[in-house]
Homo-oligomer: A and B are copies of this chain.
Amino acid sequence: MTTKMMPNRQVGRSVKRLESHSKVTGRAEYTHNLRLPGMLHTKIVRSTVAHGLIRAIDVEAAKQVPGVHAVITGEDVRKFIPQPYFGPAFHDQPILALDKVRYVGEAVVVVVASDPHIADQAAQLVVVDYEELPAVFDEIEAAKSDVYVHEELRPAGTFPDLKHLVGIRNTNIALDFSLTHGEPEKAFAEADHVFEHTFTTQQVMHTPFEPMISIGEPTHSGLTLHTASQSPSFVRIEIARLLGWPENKVRVKTGQLGGGFGAKLYIKLEALAAALALMLNAPVRVALTMEEQFYTITKHATTFHIRSGVTKDGRIVARDCDVWWNGGAYADIGPRVTQKSGFTAAGPYDIENVKIKSAAVYTNRPPAGALRGFGIPQLVWAYESHIDLIARELGIDPLEMRRKNILRNGRPQATGTIMKDAAIEQVLERTAERMNWSAPFDKGSGTRRRGRGIAIGFKASVAPTTSVAMVNIAADGSCSLYSSTVDMGQASETAMAQIVAEVLALETENIRVVRPDTDITPYDMATLGSRSTFHMGNAVRLAAEDAKQKLDELAREVGLTNASDVPLSQLFIKKYGMQAGNVIGVGTYIPPYKSPDKKTGQSDNATPFWMIGATGVELEVDTETGHVKLLRMVNVCDLGTPLNPKVVETQISGAAVMQIGFTMSEIMNFDAGQVTNASLADYKIPSFHDLPDLMENEAVDAEQTTGPFGAKGVGESSTFGVSPAIANAIQDAVGVRISSLPITPEAVYRAIAAADNRALEEE
């Protein structure tokens, strides 16, 4: 059922964001603005060594500072919570470091004071004595090293398919996903050509402009956490587990989020805020500076060896992918990224024989988790650079090369899952069309050389997950929606309200969306991986339909055929004799899914839906400086039938801009494990003049038949193609291939210089 067929056109309309007014009037509910009576403030003392045993901690001087309420160490926490280890995939991260530290910046001690400045001051006085241990930083070295970041693996049990890892010792490989499809070895042997390349990506940060914050508040019924989280339901469950409490004693409330991008997922500061609030029996605020976010959660650096067997006419017959994920010191959701993205590492191509190994590796770096794309941009970077190189080697046009191999609906993906509702070909063709690929292209001249590139990627959705929604209609017919989806700027509240309004024939603007509060809003796995529109959207639709059905029952009880015969308020008066009562609808959605076989990685239903994104780029390289100017960028995605076209367009451009940063400039620099540019002064996110002169964003006309009103995920798809499209365009312009991100002017300049030298030598 698509928008077009609906009567009251709430869905498909570019409704203004419901929350905009509150943001421009300063009424937006950010956790940072919350002040609780008697609230205490904190400063975290962080590790100065990458790997070391904690010999001694001296907190006496800090305790003497007037206004300091407590100085808490990991051991203090352990007295209160005997097993103080948390994490979504592994229970490997202590609330405060215990026995040893595993990266520079790890939380070791926390000072709690009446005022944040006092806490800062006192934190300077804490002295920690370490016995340094050898450290490992590179994912490849770490995989082989006998320096172990953790003594043993501790899968959380959240995901049954990780249970087999329990208790494995003496390894830094947290998870090793492998997939085999067809007979890759045989196919490689028979291939006309075999191409092999290695590509790497750097460690970067999410940079939400609202820094992370969690406030713990002891209450009459247990504990309330006010937290800038993307996953209130998960926090509730994880905190309850840590405390040994039932879920209903833990209340998690989120406000509006100033960005998340995966940084505020699962559990971060909440465990510390909860422990401190209960230990000190007072509200305690744990808020990070921008700098501290660099030490809290990041995006995986990766190394990707990719090898393809190709026929002379350009058909890819075999592909071997070997992906190494640098997970840092704690697993966070890394193992899940490794798995869930791993199985698409061969790209959106129809390849009969595929072999994939994807390994999450512990190192002594800040932890890496999920960042807009859940690992996909790293994979696309490699396979779309790789295919471009192959095309050039074989003298085939890069677009043509992709056309020859593109994965079409009805054909099996590497897991064996038959593709459906995946407009891969359509996205590729539409991108080419908007790039006028077939038309002649001005390559520039002299020191200003122009090139163009194209790249396409796809992504599966995380599964299995559950979403529950509730719709409540008051006696005057006004309607409230209860959903634990967190609006961090993506306008999910507006989109969900549109779905309710569509089903109940109301105006979106009149729907009241109740913010996530685990005492109120039902369970949702999390706001991540572009799952909300599809998963929560379906749950919301079911809840609204349940309410509609109950309204119709009510109508029949009072002798009407259906609810729409009279104004809703009349319906209630007829039934209850006055303005009284509610109609409450509930919807629960779990998508059909079959988890891939542990050995072969095969599944006949590996994902609830596919996300597709392609990018075309035209750019100019200054051969004297290596500076790259983006002239034009075309982003085309398949995100089903848009619920809110305007919002969808801003999501496409936003994701692409973010990926431009990861492509051209952003990188966390390290010196012996110490981040040397942990500030927005030194860590360069894109500014306006880094953006393309012309940027075009388009959603192809598509439909996710299983999605709410044909819709599916939107937030990540345009991150996929950006990096390789740019690298491909640079090669098109100046003939050099950049295989490591970021593509800084220096990197381009050095590549050009090296090429020139080779040319000279050859003379």
Pair B522/A247 contact, Cβ less than 8 Å = no
Which of A344-352, A421-429, A473-481, A636-644 faces chain B?
Answer: A473-481
Q: Which residues of B contact A218 (CB under 8 A)?
A: 27
Pair A21/B476 contact, Cβ less than 8 Å = no
Pair B248/A582 contact, Cβ less than 8 Å = no
The answer to the question of A580 belonging to the interface, with a C-beta cut-off of 8 Å to chain B, is yes
Pair A474/B220 contact, Cβ less than 8 Å = no
The answer to the question of A590 belonging to the interface, with a C-beta cut-off of 8 Å to chain B, is yes
CB < 8 Å neighbour of A247 from B160, B219, B474, B514: B474
Bound-state CA distance A477–B246 (Å) is: 8
CB < 8 Å neighbour of A519 from B249, B511, B514, B522: B514
Pair B581/A512 contact, Cβ less than 8 Å = no
Bound-state CA distance A475–B579 (Å) is: 35
What residue of chain B has the Cβ atom nearest to residue A525's Cβ?
B580
Pair B576/A474 contact, Cβ less than 8 Å = no
Whether A466 touches B576, Cβ cut-off 8 Å, given contacts A21-B220, A37-B35, A519-B480, is yes
Interface residues of A in 585-618 (CB under 8 A from B): 586, 588, 590
CB < 8 Å neighbour of A512 from B29, B248, B477, B510: B248
The contact string, 1 if C-beta is below 8 Å from chain B, for chain A 179-221, is 0000000000000000000000000000000000000001111
Pair B577/A246 contact, Cβ less than 8 Å = no
Bound-state CA distance A247–B27 (Å) is: 20
The answer to the question of A472 belonging to the interface, with a C-beta cut-off of 8 Å to chain B, is yes
Pair B240/A158 contact, Cβ less than 8 Å = no
Q: Quick one: which of A22, A466, A470, A475 has the most chain B CB within 10 A? A: A466
The answer to the question of A464 belonging to the interface, with a C-beta cut-off of 8 Å to chain B, is yes
Pair A470/B523 contact, Cβ less than 8 Å = no
What residue of chain B has the Cβ atom nearest to residue A573's Cβ?
B160
Whether A476 touches B519, Cβ cut-off 8 Å, given contacts A160-B577, A220-B28, is no
The answer to the question of A237 belonging to the interface, with a C-beta cut-off of 8 Å to chain B, is yes
Whether A510 touches B220, Cβ cut-off 8 Å, given contacts A158-B578, A519-B520, A525-B580, is no
The answer to the question of A72 belonging to the interface, with a C-beta cut-off of 8 Å to chain B, is no
CB < 8 Å neighbour of A580 from B465, B514, B576: B465
Pair A472/B522 contact, Cβ less than 8 Å = yes
Interface residues of A in 245-261 (CB under 8 A from B): 246-249
The answer to the question of A19 belonging to the interface, with a C-beta cut-off of 8 Å to chain B, is yes
Whether A464 touches B576, Cβ cut-off 8 Å, given contacts A248-B474, A474-B248, is yes
The answer to the question of A390 belonging to the interface, with a C-beta cut-off of 8 Å to chain B, is no
Q: Which residues of B contact A580 (CB under 8 A)?
A: 233, 465-466, 523, 525
CB < 8 Å neighbour of A522 from B249, B479, B523, B584: B584
Pair A240/B476 contact, Cβ less than 8 Å = yes
Pair A581/B588 contact, Cβ less than 8 Å = yes
What residue of chain B has the Cβ atom nearest to residue A480's Cβ?
B248
The contact string, 1 if C-beta is below 8 Å from chain B, for chain A 1-26, is 00000000000000000010110010
The answer to the question of A468 belonging to the interface, with a C-beta cut-off of 8 Å to chain B, is yes
Interface residues of A in 333-353 (CB under 8 A from B): none
Q: Which residues of B contact A21 (CB under 8 A)?
A: 220
The answer to the question of A159 belonging to the interface, with a C-beta cut-off of 8 Å to chain B, is yes
Whether A582 touches B523, Cβ cut-off 8 Å, given contacts A248-B474, A476-B237, is yes
Bound-state CA distance A19–B220 (Å) is: 8
What residue of chain B has the Cβ atom nearest to residue A160's Cβ?
B577
Q: Which residues of B contact A480 (CB under 8 A)?
A: 248, 519
Pair A221/B512 contact, Cβ less than 8 Å = yes
Q: Which residues of B contact A248 (CB under 8 A)?
A: 474, 478-480, 510-512
Pair B581/A523 contact, Cβ less than 8 Å = yes
Pair A159/B578 contact, Cβ less than 8 Å = yes
Bound-state CA distance A248–B500 (Å) is: 14
CB < 8 Å neighbour of A475 from B25, B237, B478, B577: B237
Q: Which residues of B contact A586 (CB under 8 A)?
A: 584, 586
The contact string, 1 if C-beta is below 8 Å from chain B, for chain A 455-490, is 000000000111010101011111110000000000
Q: Quick one: which of A470, A474, A477, A479 has the most chain B CB within 10 A? A: A474
- Offer 15 A-B interface pairs, CB within 8 angstroms, sorted by A: A25-B220, A158-B578, A159-B578, A160-B577, A160-B578, A221-B512, A237-B475, A246-B477, A464-B576, A466-B581, A468-B584, A523-B581, A525-B580, A581-B588, A584-B586
A-to-B contact residues, CB < 8 Å = 19, 21-22, 25, 27-29, 35, 37, 158-160, 218-221, 233, 237, 240, 246-249, 464-466, 468, 470, 472, 474-480, 510-512, 514, 519-520, 522-523, 525, 575-582, 584, 586, 588, 590
Q: Which 6 A-B pairs have the closest CB atoms?
A: A22-B220, A246-B478, A248-B512, A248-B478, A247-B474, A27-B220
